[in-house]
Structure 1
Amino acid sequence: MAYKTILAVLDIPQNARQMADFGAALAETFSAHLIGVHAETLAAVPLIAPMEIPDPAAVQVLQEVAQKETAMVADIFNTVSTREGLSREWRSFVSSAGYGASSVMETARTADLIIASQSDPSHSDHRADLETFLFESGRPMLLVPHRMTAFKPIERVLIGWNGSKEAARATFDALPFLKTATSVEVLVVDPPERGDQTAEFAGTEIATSLARHGVNVTVTTRIGSRETPAKAIENRLLDDSIDLLVMGGYGHSRWWEMLFGGTTRSVLDSMTALTLLSR
């Protein structure tokens, strides 16, 4: 198994270079086809009081700004991907639904892997509908910390494991990374006891399954910890020894609330490692 179609979301000019570079690096690693995507949302129509007539001049200005941004992002993607000599294509969409449009979603659902930038709170214009797009795509999503400027090989991986179907899906969606990693750690925090398995052995079965794929895997089980799973992961990432975090996605709409019951906004807002999510 390998990623053969990678979709890079270039939603704003501020992260376009980062996403193009990361997408190109991953496409080269897996000999994959790279698709760059940008969704332009049609501008809301300003109304002129008192008759609430649409202001055509204002509409034109807003559309010109959006078109200029799309052209800028496309130029960045094409420059990077052409330089790398990759199999690639550019797709831009214009609709009132932005990244929630059916045409954008259809493109996303044919990819093996989606990559996008972590939301940067310093940029208030970061597309809010990107969250829905990422959450509803049904594909594994690799989020890149907005402060990470250069791609490096993924050698050390941490899997947040709680035995759920979401965690299982994320783990197996990450197999192309796991199989080439130097080390993979399965982290289990305060697992519940089952009739056929004590808490101490939680995580061993998934580790055994991964080992059959040739993954160099170990299990860390923390019992009686005062930390929540989210906090345990945060602390584990503090020393920058992890290149990739893998975890299941939970929640209903916002992608930063998706871990172990919805307490992960702090994890993803302060993320220092690449993070692969599946739902």
Structure 2
Amino acid sequence: MTYKTIVAVLSAAEDAGKVTDHALALARRTGGHVIGIHAEAPVVVTLIAPMEYPDPNAVLQLQERAREQSRAVEQAFRARCERDDISYEWRLFTGSAGYASAGVIDSARAADIVLAGQFDPDLDGPAREDIEDLLYESGRPVYLVSNAPAGPEPIDRVLLAWNGSREATRAAFDALPFLTAAKEVEIFTIDPPDNSMQSADYCGAELATTLARHGVKISVASGSSAHHSVAETLNRRATEIDAGLIVMGAYSHSRLRQRLFGGVTSAMMRGARVPVLMSR
């Protein structure tokens, strides 16, 4: 298994270069084809009163600003791909649905992996919900490039978050190309259950045996959240073992509940200190 078709979601000029660099680094290792995608939202003008009309010049300026951003994103993507002599293509989508549009989702579903920038409210890019739509609707693993200033580094150590769920299982096997290439992989369970049905000492042991058959250099560990959030605990553990990637399942009991109250997935989208591969 390897990643041969890599979709790079390029939201804003500020992060297009970084996401493209990560996509190209992956493509060089796998001999993959990179598809750059940008969703340009049309200008929507809200009328406050019935007799009010938008200023045509203002509308034209907003439209030109959107086009300029699209051109800047495309230029950053093409320049890097041509410099590295990587097989690539560019796709521009325009519509009010943004990254939830049918065209973007269809492109993602036909890929081996999707790369996107970590949600950053300070950038003029998609909202967290747009990236969540990609994660929940594409059916493909989503690799989130963190906001840390460092570029793509070799991933020698991987932290695999494990709770025995379907989502965590999907993430573990979606991440196999990263796991087999890493020097060390740690299966890490937070607050593992310890009862008559399951022992905390053996949580993740069977998965470790399966991954070892793939040649993964694996270890198993567990830790306590100690009144910290799961996201904080994962970030802390990744720092302790110097992990270059966190692999985890993406969870949501209810899309409305997730957006109102947040959750582990949303917290990692905002605050992960290293890249995160999520599967749903």
Question: Do they superpose with TM above 0.5?
Answer: yes
Task: Quote the offset at 1:97 in angstroms.
Answer: 1.1
Matched, 1:25 2:25: yes
Report the Cα distance in structure 2 between the residues aligned to 1:162 and 1:70, rounded to whole angstroms: 40
2:97 partner letter: A
Residues 99-134 of structure 1, C-alpha deviation per residue, up to 9 Å, x if partnerless? 1111111111111111111122333x2311333233
1:1-279 → structure 2 map (5 Å cutoff): 1-47=1-47, 49-123=49-123, 125-128=124-127, 129-193=130-194, 195-222=196-223, 227-239=228-240, 241-251=242-252, 252-253=254-255, 262-263=263-264, 265-279=266-280
Secondary structure, counterpart of 2:26 in structure 1: helix
1:163 partner letter: G
Does the CA contact (< 8 Å) of 1:7 and 1:114 recur in 2? yes
Does the CA contact (< 8 Å) of 1:46 and 1:55 recur in 2? no
Task: Quote the offset at 1:17 in angstroms.
Answer: 1.0
Secondary structure, counterpart of 1:151 in structure 2: coil
Secondary structure, counterpart of 1:3 in structure 2: coil
Aligned residue pair count: 274
2:125 partner letter: H
- Do the aligned partners of residues 52 and 148 (structure 1) sit closer, same or farther apart at CA in structure 2, a change above 3 Å counting? same
Task: Quote the offset at 1:229 in angstroms.
Answer: 3.5
Which deviates more, 224-233 or 35-44?
A: 224-233
Secondary structure, counterpart of 2:215 in structure 1: coil
Task: Quote the offset at 1:224 in angstroms.
Answer: 9.1
TM-score (norm 1): 0.90
Which deviates more, 104-113 or 55-64?
A: 55-64
TM-score (norm 2): 0.89
Task: Quote the offset at 1:158 in angstroms.
Answer: 0.4
In structure 1, list runs of 5 or more residues that go unmatched.
none
Task: Quote the offset at 1:149 in angstroms.
Answer: 3.4
Secondary structure, counterpart of 1:116 in structure 2: strand
Structure holding more helix per residue: 2
Does the CA contact (< 8 Å) of 1:48 and 1:55 recur in 2? no
1:19 partner letter: V
The alignment's C-alpha RMSD in Å is 2.3
Secondary structure, counterpart of 1:146 in structure 2: coil
Task: Quote the offset at 1:235 in angstroms.
Answer: 1.6
Does the CA contact (< 8 Å) of 2:250 and 2:265 recur in 1? no
1:247 partner letter: M
Secondary structure, counterpart of 1:238 in structure 2: helix
